[in-house]
């Protein structure tokens, strides 16, 4: 599908997203009627940290990462976004500069709805509540990661993040998937641990039949077994 396809085609594709599909049909159409297309190559940025707010974005296809980079070059991946996800709402709401980098991991196509169109939509209480709901979904994911980092073992954190990735990571999917397309390097950066530590933990999960490991992916073999590892103190 190209970004030149009809609004109806985009409406059908994007409405599978939990947040966007929950909008009033009229608001979905208004949002899609005002977008500008972005075609990104792997390694290109949607926006960078400290950029000025310029609207919200919807990912048509591809994969993006939300990340932050320390001065010494160490990177932390906060979330992986896949097709259907909408993001960038925080700066639309508070007018503050962007807080993180959003970069394409693979060739990706993005819808950009500019700030002025968002502000027009925000005059309608239903859309304002919807945007607040989107931010709430993202904040809940952040709080869950903070809870994991402070209260759970490394093994439990790995298991919980894999299950979260199976359900959509940044925003929930309607169904869980068992094959997660993610490299060990990126998963380690999401968890804030070394790749060597991650490999050891993945081997333990695999030895107990919870997962299997392939090139550029992790497959969940037993969701129940994975949940057992989440209970690790």
Residue ranges, comma separated, of all CATH 2.60.120.10 domains in the chain are: 7-144
Question: Which pLDDT belongs to residue 4?
Answer: 46
The CATH label, of 2.60.120.10, 3.40.228.10, 1.25.40.20, 3.40.50.740, for the domain at 7-144 is 2.60.120.10
Per residue in 157-189, pLDDT (tens digit) is 999 999 888 877 666 655 677 888 888 999 999
- pLDDT > 90: what percent of the chain? 46
Of the CA atoms within 13 Å of residue 109, those in its CB half-sphere come to 12
Q: Which two tokens stand for residue 142?
A: 């952040």
Residue with tokens 């990912």: 59
State how far the alpha carbon of 209 is from the alpha carbons of 72, 128, 152, 218, in Å. Answer: 38, 45, 21, 12
When pLDDT is cut at 50, 70 and 90, the band that residue 3 belongs to is very low
Whole-prediction pTM:
0.82
Residues across the chain:
233
Residue ranges, comma separated, of all CATH 1.10.10.10 domains in the chain are: 152-230
Rounded Cα distance between 230 and 160, Å, is 6
Rounded Cα distance between 85 and 94, Å, is 20
Q: Which fold has domain 152-230?
A: Arc Repressor Mutant, subunit A (1.10.10)
Per residue in 24-49, pLDDT (tens digit) is 888 888 888 888 899 999 999 999 99
Using DSSP, state whether 181 is helix, strand or coil.
coil
Residue 46: CB partners within 8 Å, gap ≥ 6? Answer: 38, 40, 57, 64, 88, 102, 103, 104, 110
Residue 56: CB partners within 8 Å, gap ≥ 6? Answer: 86, 87, 88, 89, 92, 113, 118, 131
When pLDDT is cut at 50, 70 and 90, the band that residue 144 belongs to is confident
Per residue in 102-119, pLDDT (tens digit) is 999 999 999 999 998 888
């Amino acid at each position: 599908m190209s970004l030149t396809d009809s609004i109806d085609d985009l409406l059908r594709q994007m409405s599978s997203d939990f947040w966007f599909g929950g909008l009033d049909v009229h608001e979905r159409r208004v949002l899609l009627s005002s977008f500008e297309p972005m075609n990104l190559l792997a390694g290109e940025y949607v926006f960078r940290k400290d950029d000025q707010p310029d609207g919200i974005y919807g990912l048509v296809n591809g994969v993006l990462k939300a990340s932050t980079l320390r001065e010494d070059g160490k990177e932390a991946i906060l979330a992986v976004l896949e097709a259907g996800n909408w993001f960038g709402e925080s700066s639309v709401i508070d007018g503050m500069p962007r807080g993180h980098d959003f970069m394409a991991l693979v060739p990706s196509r993005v819808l950009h709805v500019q700030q002025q169109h968002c502000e027009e939509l925000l005059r309608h209480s239903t859309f304002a509540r919807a945007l607040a709901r989107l931010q709430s979904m993202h904040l809940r994911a952040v709080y869950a990661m903070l809870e994991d980092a402070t209260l759970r073992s490394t093994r439990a954190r790995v298991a919980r993040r894999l299950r979260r990735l199976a359900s959509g990571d940044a925003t929930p999917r309607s169904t869980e998937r068992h094959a997660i397309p993610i490299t060990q390097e990126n998963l380690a950066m999401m968890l804030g641990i070394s790749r060597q530590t991650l490999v050891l933990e993945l081997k333990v999960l695999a030895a107990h039949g919870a997962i299997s490991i392939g090139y550029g992916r992790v497959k969940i073999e037993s969701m129940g077994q994975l949940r057992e590892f989440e209970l690790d103190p």
